[in-house]
Amino acid sequence: MIEYHLAEASTSEVLFTITDAGGEIIQQFSSGSNERGSPSTSAGMNRFFWGMRYPGTQMPPSPGALDAGAVLRVREVRAQVDGHRAELPEDARVEADGIMEQLREIEGILTIWMGSQAHPMMWSPPGLTEKLSSLSRAVGAADAKPTESMYAVFEDLSERFEVQPNRLNQVIEQEIGPLLSR
């Protein structure tokens, strides 16, 4: 809790800058932000509450690799291939089965594979999505700056994420397109 006194109502911005022992800025709060809990510009005694936490993790903008659209796209493409499978000649069905296996593998890398209607309780190890979510919770729950190892894990997961949408696009363009155009 930060208590402060203003002799008269402020006509300009009230700004709190929270820094660490080395002077590095952790977070800033402005009365001009109009967010709940922002500093008051009222005359008299005021209180400002800071949760004593670093701001939450900020995900970098992504061309689609880190968003849920990647998993949903795999599922849509799988449904499309599965829907056309019955119409294909026998040799193309074998090829479609191979493509479906690749799509299941991509989905299994991105998220927990939940099995099928025949085996609904079959689970796989956590995928990249769950690992990133766990890392985000660990960073958000800490009262300190993320550790070097947390940054390293984030970099590793991000790099591994980038591979899968590229792999999916390759399967769609080089294998599914020619298969469905037969």
Q: Please state the rounded mean pLDDT for residues 166-180.
A: 90
- pLDDT attached to residue 62: 44
Reported in sequence order, the residue ranges of the chain that DSSP labels E, i.e. its strands, are: 2-6, 15-19, 25-30, 44-48
Q: How high is the mean pLDDT of the chain?
A: 84
Q: Please state the rounded mean pLDDT for residues 116-120.
A: 58
pTM of full prediction above 0.75? no
3-state percent breakdown (helix, strand, coil) of the chain, nearest 5:
50, 10, 40
Under CATH, what is the fold of the domain 69-180?
Four Helix Bundle (Hemerythrin (Met), subunit A) (1.20.120)
Per the CB < 8 A criterion, the answer to whether 78 and 97 are in contact is no
User: Which one of 38-42, 50-54, 58-62 scores highest in mean pLDDT?
Assistant: 38-42
Q: Please state the rounded mean pLDDT for residues 52-76.
A: 65
- pLDDT attached to residue 126: 81
Distance of alpha carbon 166 from alpha carbon 163, whole angstroms = 5
The residue extents of the domains of the chain are 2-48, 69-180
- Over residues 85-117, the pLDDT tens digits come to 888 888 899 999 999 999 989 988 888 766 665
pLDDT band for position 63 (50/70/90)? Answer: very low
